[in-house]
Amino acid sequence: MDRRAWLTIVGGALAGVGAGTQAGTGQLAETVAAAERAFADAMAKRDLAAFSSHLSQEAVFFSSPDGMRVLRGKAAIVDAWKRFFEGPNAPFSWSPDTAQVLDSGSLAMTTGPVKDPEGKLTGRFSSVWRLESDGRWRVVFDRGCSCA
């Protein structure tokens, strides 16, 4: 086999490895985006238990615009967020417009708009998701910011 043919074969194999990685992370990114949509849907459906199921036990939420107030742990987050589940209508909604996953497939980030009940843009969120030992993606960090 001549050198040119060998380089073509090796180059094609390496390109395939890269494409497989991109396809794999792309599929994982869609899985994480779907988890984010289900997380948001729990708020819309007023289902605190479903919301809670998307949180890692050691999750950290930055709960003030300046990032100074931090909620640490699933129990603290659920306790602080239960007020958002009172009443028939959600006080806000969110959905991911971007999801990215590390090549390792173990950590991901979603981000997207936050809207008021009338659909007006009020802010953006960023969530970091971790693939946990039971095979489920759960939020480990979350932070929102206002558009003001």
Backbone angles phi, psi at 86, to 5 degrees: -80, 145
Q: pTM for the full model? A: 0.81
pLDDT tens column, 93-126: 999 999 999 999 999 999 999 999 999 999 999 9
Longest dimension (CA), the chain: 73
Of the pLDDT bands very low, low, confident and very high (cuts 50, 70, 90), residue 148 is low
Comparing C-alpha atoms, which of 38, 77, 33, 37 is closest to residue 57?
77
E-strand spans in 16-101? 55-62, 70-72, 93-94, 98-101
Of the pLDDT bands very low, low, confident and very high (cuts 50, 70, 90), residue 57 is very high
Number of domains in the chain: 1
CATH number at residue 76: 3.10.450.50
Question: Which residues span the domain enclosing 97?
Answer: 3-146
Across the range 51-80, mean pLDDT stands at 92
Give the chain's end-to-end CA distance (angstroms, integer): 65
Of the pLDDT bands very low, low, confident and very high (cuts 50, 70, 90), residue 12 is very low
